[in-house]
Structure formats: C-alpha cells, structure tokens
Chains A and B, each alone.
Chain A
Amino acid sequence: METVISSLSSALVLSSMYILVSLGFALLLSIMGILNFAHGAIYMVAGYICYQFSVELGLNQWISLILSVVIVGLFGLFLEKFCFRPFLKDWFRAVVMTIAVTLIIETTVNVTVGVYTRQLPLFIPGVFKAGAISVSAERILTFIAGGVLLLLLTWFIRKAKMGQQMLAIAQNSEGAAFQGIDINRVSAIACVMGCALAAIAGCLMGALFQLSPYAGDSMLLKAIQIVILSGIGSFGGIVFAGLIIGFIDAILPLLTSGAITQTVGVGIIIVLLLVRPQGFFGREV
C-alpha cells in the first residue's frame, strides 16, 4: 500500500510538471508554429533565478518564485520579438535561433554556477504521514499547484477572449488575422505565458530535485513527446498524454531496471504513435 501511494504521488507530481511545461511548449508551437528548443533552458534557468533571490539574497521563497516567473515571462517577450517574430516564415532559422538561445543560457549557467550543488529550499517543509504511508508536503504542493494552473489555463483558453484568440490562431492564423486578431500581440502574450508556465515548473521542480544546468534537456524531451502524443494543436490532449508519460516514468522503474526503463518508456510511446500517428487528439493529415 505504501509503495502504491508513493508511486501515485510520484506519478501525479511528474505528470503535473510535465503538463505545465508541455502546455507552454504547445502554446508556442500552435500559435507561432515554432519548435522552441529553448523551452527546457527557460525551465532550468527559472530555478536558478529563484535560488539567487531566495538563498543568495535572502528573500521570501514565494516572492522569489514570483520574481523568477516575472523575469522569465518578460524574457519571453524578448524572445518573441527578437528571436521568433523575425523568423516566422523561415522554420529552420527559427529552430537554429532557439538552439542558440539554449546554448547561451545553458553555457552561461554552467560556467557561472554549474560546478556548485544547488537545490531550492522546500516551499513547504514536512512530511504528511498516515500510518505507514508518507508523502512529502512539497510533492503535495507541487501537484496542487500544477492542477490549479492547469484549471486556470483551461478556463483562460476556453472562456477568456485572449484565450479564444489564441485558439483561433492555432486553428487558422490567416483566418484569425482576417477577423482582426492582432497576431503579434497574441503571440507575445502566448510566449510570456509559455515561459511563465515553464518557470513555475522549474522552480517547483528545483525544490524537489537538484538544480542542474542541463536539467532542461530531459524536460524538453518530455514536452516534445507529450505534444506529439497528444496531437499537435490539442491542448486537452496534453493533459492525457502528460498523465501517461508521468505514470510511465514513475511506475516503470519499479517493474524494470536501469536503462531498460527509458527504452521501454519510449517504446510504449512509439507503439502508441504507430497505432495513432496523429496523436490521441490530433487531426488526420
């Protein structure tokens, strides 16, 4: 029973963080058509920024998280205007630009603080115990935060005017432009939101696991897997795919060992894609 509860908590935490990061990634992909390889680096650097504020400068940790999200979100504005918008019509150059941003961010962090072991202090210390079952309060917080953000984002996309505009652009950008939607403005807001979501995930995960200059690489890979599995253009599918991949990553190591876990996990994804190449909720090409 203890193992089941621990695995469930691990699966839900991983899933919620994967979903948060993937949603940000999917926003950019759907609205701007850009495969943002810098998304993982943004996720990573947010944790380090939060660390600087909370540990080095001694600010309240929650305030540090907010500051980190704001800074990274504003960086999203910079990215959209100077790195993505000029290359909207040239996919390859856009990808090269995102790779360049990734390298710059990762190398900067690696060279400055990479050699030091860093982890964010827990946002909520303590362990929730019920009999033989124990789950850290931090994991519970991470899952709740992920769930709340997901609900907010779902409401935003479905009900808010800006969210509807984002959906319209994702479905047909030319048609949306004809309807008078300011593509650049909406893209900029989407970029800010995407980066902010990655930043929140980065800070929460940075408190659970060690900060590392290359932590974003594995998270980017998960985001790409989830977006492909869900179907490009489907935000709802990301929740479903995120849960699948989160559960695979949490449960499979219990059943297999070592590197086989990763192989089996990717194998499951490949099989799912063979059955449904467009993803669970994607449109047939």
Chain B
Amino acid sequence: MKRRKQLILLVSICLVLLVTLPMLTSCGNSKSEENVVTIGAPVDFTGSSSASGQLVYEGIQAVEEYFSQQGGITINGQKYSVKFTAEDTKSTADGSVAAVKKLVNDDGLKIIVGQSTPYQISAANTITGPAKVINGVMYNTMTPGELGPDFPYTFLIGGGGAVDAVTGLLTYGGNNYKDIKTVTIIIPDDGQIPYMEPVVKKIAEAQGWTVLDTIGWATSTVDFTPIAQKALAKNPDAIAMTTGWPGMIGSILQLVRQAGFEGLVMGTNPAEDILAVAGAEASTNYIGIGDTPTDPNLPAKAKEFGQIVQNKFGHCLFYNLWACNAYYTIVGIVEGAQSTDPTAIKNYWENAQAIDSIWGTCPMGGLETYGVRHDVIMPVPICGLTNGQATFLSWQEITVP
C-alpha cells in the first residue's frame, strides 16, 4: 500500500513537471524571441520526397547561416535575427496539414514557406488561409486550391511554378527554333490538365505554334511507349512536356528518338538528369530547365549560396539552390515590408515592383493568370542536350501576365 502511494506520488510529480516545464521554457524563450523573425518550413523529411526534402532543408540551413553571418535583418531600426523552424510533412497532404498546424497553431508562426506539390499546397491553404498566415509556395500547377483570389496570403516564391517554367521553355523554343510550326503537349493527369492546358496552349500559340494534341498520362505510368506513340501520331514538329520527372521525360525522349523522331523535345527537367535516363544516343535536340550549381554563368548571389552549401555539406545540387532561393527571398520580403505582420507583408509583396532573389531582381506578376499578383517571376535557366552532351544555354526572361 505504501509503495503504491509512493508510485502514485511519483507519477503525479512527473505529470506536473511534464505540463509545466514547457510553459516555463517558453516564457524564457518569448523574451529572447522578441528580435527574431521565425519562418516556418514544412519540409518532406520522410516519405517519397524525403531525398529532395533533405536537400531543401540543407538550403534552409545555408540561408540561416547566411543571415547569421550578415547580422540578421533590420526592421524599423531594430536588428532581427532570422530563424527557420522545420516540420515534417511526410510528403503527404495529411502530413502537410499536421506540419502547418503545428507551425501556425502551436508555434504561432505567421510566415510559412515550403510546399511544392498541388495536394500539399491545397492542404496547407486550409490552415494558413483562415489564420491569415503568409504561405509561400515553391511550385504551382494551376489547380484550384493552390493560388488565387481565394487565398490572399498565398504567394508563389520558388520561381519554379509550372506556368513560369513552361513560359520560359516555350519562349526560348519560339525564339530559337523558327522552323517549328506544330507541337504536341504532354501533361500529367493528376488533376491539372483542365487548368494547365488552356494556359500552355496560349503560350504555345504566342510562339506562332499550332497545338496538334494534348496528351495526358497517369502518374503511375511505368512504360511510356503508348504516350510516345500518341505524341508522334499527328507528326508534330516538336513535343513539349509541361511537368514531369526525369524518368518520364527521359523515357519519352528515348522512345521518340528510337521511333525516328528528330524534332525538338522540350521538358522541364535538367539536361543531365534526362541524359542519365535517355542515354547518350537519344539525348539530342532537347531543351530543358535547370542549371548546375557549378555553372560559371550563375548570378553572384547564387554562387555565394552555392559555396555556403558546398562548404557546409560537401555538395551543392539543384534542390539546394532552389531552397536557398525561396528562403532567401522571403527574408528579403519581410525586410522590404519592414514588418513581421502578415497583412503588412502581403500588402507590400503584392504591390512590390521588384523582389530580390538569388537569381537577381525579379518583377511580380500573375494577375491575369492566377487572379492575383502573387507570382515572383524569376528568369528561367534553359539547358540543352546535343549529341549526348549537356550544356547550359541561356537565362530566359519571362512575363507571366
């Protein structure tokens, strides 16, 4: 009986400590957090995207280190240090909701940057929207629930939205391949076709091209032979793939080349990745999007971050710089707004004439495309494959109306 009472007393003390200690520590923290800008970062630490998620997190750490070295930022004459709080999204919509809930509801953060898939963005918007929290998304595929007037606090910050990417790709193709008259478009059928197809058609037609066909493919497709066959069925001069991953784009490039197609193939993945899949023999007359961190053409700020990442982690890949860009840009926006209040940031951001990124100074746009002027329009790096060799071609300036 005595032992039982002692046990109950011990458990009770532990429970009390468990409940009160976090409150005591948070009291201490709130004082030291007065001059800290904390930005939430939902990251794919686990799940299907964890490999790239880890690289994104490395980019976040590089940006934190950069601003630490700079002494932070200045808001209304006060110095603020910059911190990022990352939460695992598990690469799923449910995980994104849980991560964003933790960041917004539990941690009280007012700025979130990170989602890059349509289902994650839509899921996160259900939390950030009502809470009026800035939600900086790193990609976009035009599906409802991602970006638009219904989400006044959601902005596209990654410079890698599908519309931006396709605009850059097709504009470069139109400027440099004057013999193209017809094109077949290939779009993943994950819900984006009804929204992306009209936009892509418009961009293609702006180059003077006729769109012969739009082909959708299921994201679980293993063998792209039927897709390649359909793409070639109407004898296009060129094939444009709006979104995809190297396995898909590389497979289609290989298959159309095996079928004897010699026309231009456009895809939204870096040349080296496509080369690894398609093989040297098929890797020709391809233009894609991407830049290697070691490219001497990189803008100065991007090179600087590339060096930070390289020194810190022993490598620097595309996803590292992609993350550095997004998180560097948001900090600059906060400083530009001279406020940590989301509404003040939102008002500043959507009315800004130019935004500083690691790729340079970028205009805002997207009012006609998305219904809100919430797209940071960044130049698109165009790379190419010629006779099995990958090369960087050019930075393509774009406009997204």
Contacts and interface: CB of A to CB of B under 8 A. Distances in A.
Interface of A: 2-3, 6-7, 9-10, 13-14, 107, 110-111, 113-115, 117-119, 121-122, 125, 127, 132, 134, 136, 205, 208-210, 212-215, 218-219, 249-254, 257-262
Interface of B: 46, 48, 50-52, 54-55, 188-190, 193, 215-223, 225-227, 229-230, 233, 245-247, 250-251, 258-260, 272-273, 276-277, 279, 281, 317, 319
Nearest to A118: B276
Contact of B225 (A6, A113, A218): A6
B260 A134 contact: yes
Contacts of A261: 218, 221
A114 B258 contact: no
Contacts of B218: 253, 258-262
Contact of B276 (A7, A114, A117, A127): A117
Nearest to B217: A258
Contact of A115 (B46, B52, B223): B52
A6 B216 CA distance: 19
Contacts, number: 113
Contacts of A212: 247
B229 A14 contact: no
A249 B52 CA distance: 29
Contact of A253 (B230, B260, B276, B281): B230
A135 B25 CA distance: 67
Given A115-B51, A212-B247, A218 B220 contact: yes
Given A114-B50, A213-B51, A259-B190, A250 B223 contact: yes
B247 A111 contact: no
Nearest to A127: B258
Contact of A254 (B54, B226, B245, B246): B226
A249 B225 CA distance: 10
Query: Which among A3, A113, A218, A257 has the highest number of chain B CB atoms within 10 Å?
Result: A257
Contacts of B50: 107, 110-111, 114
Given A6-B259, A111-B51, A257 B279 contact: no
A112 to B, nearest CB: 9
B259 A134 contact: yes
A257 B189 contact: yes
Given A6-B259, A134-B259, 17 more contacts: A7-B229, A14-B222, A115-B51, A117-B246, A117-B247, A119-B276, A134-B260, A209-B223, A209-B251, A210-B247, A210-B277, A213-B51, A253-B227, A253-B230, A257-B189, A259-B190, A261-B218
B222 A249 contact: yes
A215 B216 CA distance: 20
B378 to A, nearest CB: 22
